[in-house]
Amino acid sequence: MKVICNKCGATYEIDPNKIIAPTVRFKCKACSNFVTIHKDEIISDASSQVFTPQPEVSHETADADETKIKGFGIRFKLFSFLIILIAVFAVQASYLIFQLNRTADRFGEQGTLIIKEMAENDILKTALSVAKQVKLYIEAHPDLTKEQFMNDQLFRKIAVQKVGETGYTALYGKESDGKWRTRAHLRPKICAPALDDMAKLKKPLGVNFPEFWNILTAVTSEHPSKGYYQWQEKDKSFKNKYMACVNVVGTPFNIASTTYMDDFTEPMQRLQRESRTIAKAETIKSAILTSVIIIIIAIIVFIFGGKLTANIKYLSEMTDRISLGDLDALIEVRSKDELAVLAESISRLQQSVKLSMQRLRKK
């Protein structure tokens, strides 16, 4: 007997003897319309070789609605899960990158602070050490006058010593006329009589002069003075320097120990820059690794989702064939999970229906 789909007109060959249920339904492969066959209509229309199911609006609509997916499909849910997983990976990777950069920065900042503190103590210790050496030399040479300090090579070597890479010590003091003069310095132009008054440094130092002058003049016999100031370079630029001043005990002279702090912090700053470079490289590697993992997961989800939906669709079609009376159809699901269990259950149902038909025919 031929059955014609009442929606698209597709024709199907069906054995009426295999239809044992009062009502059977199958899905048209051409238009996906659900065709419902009532057994009593087949009996009443037995003289005809062609059966056209009558559309039953309320019944058919209800059946079709029950068969359609009411929510989101499995594949959509799997991809939704993938999107959530990607978001989690992205958040985790961003957090790790942020922590890595933050750790590198904190390491550099803390290291720089520690080195600065150590350098400040070292500069002060140098000033104290030079002050003691100057005191001993002056005591050993009572006839040496302040005007001779720069001409005495040995005294100059003691009073002007290297501090760090570019720094040095110098001898200066407030004299009887109230003026501050330098008596031993790496640069002779700053020493008296070339520079008769250190207050004249106000012009080249400009707005940076007060902080320099405060450190220079705040020293007493009991308390050293120390701090940062801006010093003008030969190219007229200013760089940050640190200075510690101590009194030469028993004399009106002081030792100033000064140098650029970069002499001490540059290695740490270089290490900090290297750490940031490494952190950036690791960030890129982490992003690439995360992307590769996400792509692999996406491929696995795509393959798994495709196989899963294909098996479900296959079992649905086989169930429709059984509902039409095709009890000899072989159900094959190449799986070892719950779908295999479902396939076995449908096979048992198929065999049970087949046995029931055989009993009915015998009766």
Length of the chain: 363
Tell me what the mean pLDDT of segment 183-208 comes to: 90
CA–CA gap between residue 304 and residue 23 (Å, rounded): 36
3-state secondary structure of 121: helix
CA–CA gap between residue 181 and residue 192 (Å, rounded): 6
- Residue ranges of domains in the chain: 1-68, 74-310, 325-363
- Give residue-wise pLDDT tens across range 311-327: 888 888 888 877 777 77
> Residue 168 has what pLDDT?
94
Inform me whether the pLDDT recorded for 59 exceeds 70: no
Residue with tokens 């009411």: 70
Read off the tokens for 99: 């922590």
- Position with higher pLDDT, 337 vs 55: 337
Inform me whether the pLDDT recorded for 194 exceeds 60: yes
Tell me what the mean pLDDT of segment 83-95 comes to: 79
Model confidence band, residue 57 (pLDDT cutoffs 50, 70, 90): very low
Mean pLDDT comparison of 18-22, 159-163, 274-278, 280-284, highest-scoring range: 159-163
The torsion angles phi and psi of 174, rounded to 5 degrees, stand at -95, 120
Inform me whether the pLDDT recorded for 284 exceeds 70: yes
Mean pLDDT comparison of 41-50, 95-104, 188-197, highest-scoring range: 188-197
Least confident of 98-107, 153-162, 249-258, 280-289: 98-107
Read off the tokens for 44: 């009443």
Model confidence band, residue 238 (pLDDT cutoffs 50, 70, 90): confident
> Residue 64 has what pLDDT?
38
Model confidence band, residue 49 (pLDDT cutoffs 50, 70, 90): low
CATH topology of domain 74-310: Beta-Lactamase (3.30.450)
- Give residue-wise pLDDT tens across range 151-180: 999 999 999 999 988 899 999 999 999 999
- Position with higher pLDDT, 129 vs 41: 129
Cα 32 → chain centroid: 49
- Position with higher pLDDT, 6 vs 314: 314
CA–CA gap between residue 327 and residue 305 (Å, rounded): 29
- Position with higher pLDDT, 97 vs 177: 177
Mean of pLDDT over the chain: 81
Instruction: Report CA torsion sign: 198, 201, 202, 203.
Output: positive
How are beta strands 2-4 and 50-51 bridged, if at all?
Answer: parallel
CA–CA gap between residue 28 and residue 220 (Å, rounded): 106
According to DSSP, residue 252 is labeled S
Q: Are 247 and 173 in contact (CB under 8 A)?
A: no
